[in-house]
Amino acid sequence: MSAQTAGPETLGSLSTEPDPQDPTSQQAKEIAGKSPMRIALGRLARDKIAVVCALVVLFFIICAVFAGPISSLFGVSLDTPLASERVDGLNNGLPKPEMGPPNGPFTWEHPMGVAPRTGQDNLAYWLHGCRVSLLIATVAAVFASVVGVVVGLLSGFLGGAVDKVLSFFIDMFLTIPFLLAALTLAPILNERFNTSDNYGTIQKISLICVLALFGWMGTARLIRGEVLSLREREFVQAARVMGMPTRRILFKELLPNLAAPIIISISLMLPAFVALEAGLAFLGIGVTDGVSWGQMILDAASPVYFRDYPQYLWQPMVGVVALVLSLNLLGDAIRDALDPKTRR
Amino acid sequence: MFAYVVKRLISGVLVVTLVSMAIFLLFWYGPSSPAQPICDRETSNRCGNKIEIYEKTLGYNNPVHEEYAKFVKGVFVGRTLTIASNDYECSAPCLGVSFRTKEPVKEELLSRVPATFSVAIGGAFLYLLFGIPIGVAAARRRGSVADKALVSSFLFISSIPYYLFALLTWLYLTVTFEIPLFSNTGYFSPITEGPWAWFSGLFLAWVALGIFGCTQYTRFTRGAMVEALSEDYIRTAKAKGLPSRTIVYKHGLRAALVPVVTIFGIDFGTLLAGTIFTERIFEIQGIGWWSLQAVQGMDLPVVQATAIFSAVILIISNLLVDIVYSVLDPRVRLS
Q: Which pLDDT tens digit goes with each residue over A83-106?
A: 777 777 777 777 777 777 777 777
| Ramachandran region, residue B183 (left: φ > 0; alpha: ψ -120 to 50; beta: rest) | alpha
Domains in chain B, number: 2
Q: Exposed, middle or buried by CB within 10 Å (0-12, 13-18, 19+), for A162? A: middle
From chain A residues 134-193, the ones with a CB under 8 A of any chain B CB are 175, 177, 179-180, 183-192
- Is residue B66 domain-shared with residue B146, that is, in the same domain? no
| Calpha distance B161→A332 (Å, rounded) | 16
| Whether pLDDT at B22 is above 60 | yes
**Residue B316 belongs to some domain of the structure:** yes
Q: List beta partners, residue B90.
A: B79
Which of B105, B134, B150 corresponds to the end of one domain? B105
Nearest to A328 among B159, B176, B270 (CB): B159
| Whether pLDDT at B87 is above 80 | no
- Is residue B255 domain-shared with residue B206, that is, in the same domain? yes
CB-CB neighbors (< 8 A) of B152 in chain A: none
- Is residue B175 domain-shared with residue B62, that is, in the same domain? no
Pick the residue with more confidence: B108 or A12? B108
pLDDT (0 to 100) of residue A3: 38
CB-based contact A244:A296 (threshold 8 Å): no
A325 near B CB under 8 A: yes
**Residue B215 belongs to some domain of the structure:** yes
Pick the residue with more confidence: B211 or A201? B211
| Element at B209 (helix H, strand E) | helix B195-229
User: Which candidate, A110, A152, A126, places its Cα nearest to that of A261?
Assistant: A152
**Residue B333 belongs to some domain of the structure:** no
Q: Answer yes or no: pTM beyond 0.95.
A: no
Tallying the residues shown for chain B, one arrives at 335
- Is residue B226 domain-shared with residue B324, that is, in the same domain? yes
Neighbours of A31 (CB within 10 A): 14
Q: Which residues of B touch A (CB under 8 A)?
A: 23, 26-27, 30-32, 36-37, 151, 156, 159-161, 163-164, 167-168, 171, 175-176, 270, 273-274, 276-277, 280, 291-292, 294-296, 298, 300, 303-304, 307, 310-311, 314, 318
- Is residue B264 domain-shared with residue B293, that is, in the same domain? yes
Half-sphere exposure of B299 (CA within 13 A, CB side): 23
Pick the residue with more confidence: A313 or A84? A313
Mutate to test the interface with B, among A133, A172, A190, A191 (most CBs of B within 10 A): A191
Q: Would you tell me the crossing angle of helices A160-175 and A217-230 to the nearest 10 degrees?
A: 150
| Calpha distance B98→A231 (Å, rounded) | 54
Q: Average of pLDDT values for A23-32?
A: 53
| Calpha distance A119→A125 (Å, rounded) | 11
pLDDT band (50, 70, 90) for residue B270: confident
Position B234, amino acid? I
pLDDT band (50, 70, 90) for residue A145: very high
Judged by CB atoms closer than 8 Å, whether chains meet at B310 and A284 is answered as no
Give percent above pLDDT 70 in chain B.
Answer: 98
A206 near B CB under 8 A: no
User: Which candidate, A144, A149, A139, places its Cα nearest to that of A256?
Assistant: A149
- Is residue B219 domain-shared with residue B89, that is, in the same domain? no
DSSP 3-state of B3:
helix
- Is residue B305 domain-shared with residue B172, that is, in the same domain? yes
Which of B75, B105, B135 corresponds to the end of one domain? B105
Tens of pLDDT, residue by residue over A201-259, are 888 888 898 899 999 999 999 999 999 988 888 998 899 899 889 888 888 888 888 88
pLDDT band (50, 70, 90) for residue A66: very high
| Whether pLDDT at A19 is above 60 | no
Q: Quote the Cα angle for B106-B107-B111, to 5°.
A: 115
Judged by CB atoms closer than 8 Å, whether chains meet at A306 and B298 is answered as no
Provide the mean pLDDT of chain A: 82
Tens of pLDDT, residue by residue over B95-122, are 888 888 888 888 888 889 999 999 999 9
**Residue B334 belongs to some domain of the structure:** no
**Residue B172 belongs to some domain of the structure:** yes
**Which distant-in-sequence residues (6+ apart) come within 8 Å of A78 by Cβ?**
A71, A120, A121, A124, A125, A128, A291
| Whether pLDDT at A32 is above 80 | no
CATH number at residue B227: 1.10.3720.10
The alpha-carbon gap from A223 to the nearest alpha carbon of chain B, in Å, equals 23
**Residue B219 belongs to some domain of the structure:** yes
A333 near B CB under 8 A: no
Q: Annotate A96-145 with DSSP letters as a single string.
A: PGGG-TTTS---TTSTT-B-TTT--BHHHHHHHHHHHHHHHHHHHHHHHH
Q: Quote the Cα angle for B179-B181-B184, to 5°.
A: 90
Judged by CB atoms closer than 8 Å, whether chains meet at A179 and B277 is answered as yes
pLDDT (0 to 100) of residue A148: 94
The alpha-carbon gap from A212 to the nearest alpha carbon of chain B, in Å, equals 18
User: Which candidate, A31, A47, A42, A36, places its Cα nearest to that of A12?
Assistant: A36
- Is residue B93 domain-shared with residue B227, that is, in the same domain? no
Strands (E) across B105-162 are located at none
Q: Average of pLDDT values for A274-282?
A: 91
Half-sphere exposure of A22 (CA within 13 A, CB side): 0
The alpha-carbon gap from B163 to the nearest alpha carbon of chain A, in Å, equals 7
- Is residue B162 domain-shared with residue B208, that is, in the same domain? yes
Pick the residue with more confidence: A200 or A167? A167
**H helix intervals, B141-187:** 145-159, 162-170
**Residue B140 belongs to some domain of the structure:** yes
pLDDT (0 to 100) of residue A342: 54
DSSP state of A198: -
Judged by CB atoms closer than 8 Å, whether chains meet at B291 and A190 is answered as no
CB-based contact A300:A313 (threshold 8 Å): yes
pLDDT band (50, 70, 90) for residue A11: very low
Range of the domain at B179: 108-328
Which of B81, B105, B129 corresponds to the end of one domain? B105
Q: Average of pLDDT values for B117-129?
A: 92
Provide the mean pLDDT of chain B: 85
Nearest to B163 among A177, A192, A279 (CB): A279
User: Which candidate, A140, A167, A278, places its Cα nearest to that of A221?
Assistant: A167
A57 near B CB under 8 A: no
Position B263, amino acid? I
- Is residue B128 domain-shared with residue B83, that is, in the same domain? no
- Is residue B12 domain-shared with residue B157, that is, in the same domain? no
Mutate to test the interface with A, among B54, B163, B165, B306 (most CBs of A within 10 A): B163
Judged by CB atoms closer than 8 Å, whether chains meet at A307 and B176 is answered as yes
Instruction: Please tell me the least confidently modeled range out of B2-16, B71-85, B186-200, B216-230.
Output: B71-85
pLDDT (0 to 100) of residue B335: 56
Q: How many CB pairs under 8 A join A and B?
A: 102
- Is residue B133 domain-shared with residue B171, that is, in the same domain? yes
CB-CB neighbors (< 8 A) of B283 in chain A: none
φ, ψ of residue B82 to 5 degrees: the values are -115, 125
pLDDT (0 to 100) of residue A15: 41
Neighbours of A69 (CB within 10 A): 9
Residue B94 CA, chain-centre distance (Å), reads 22
pLDDT (0 to 100) of residue A10: 41
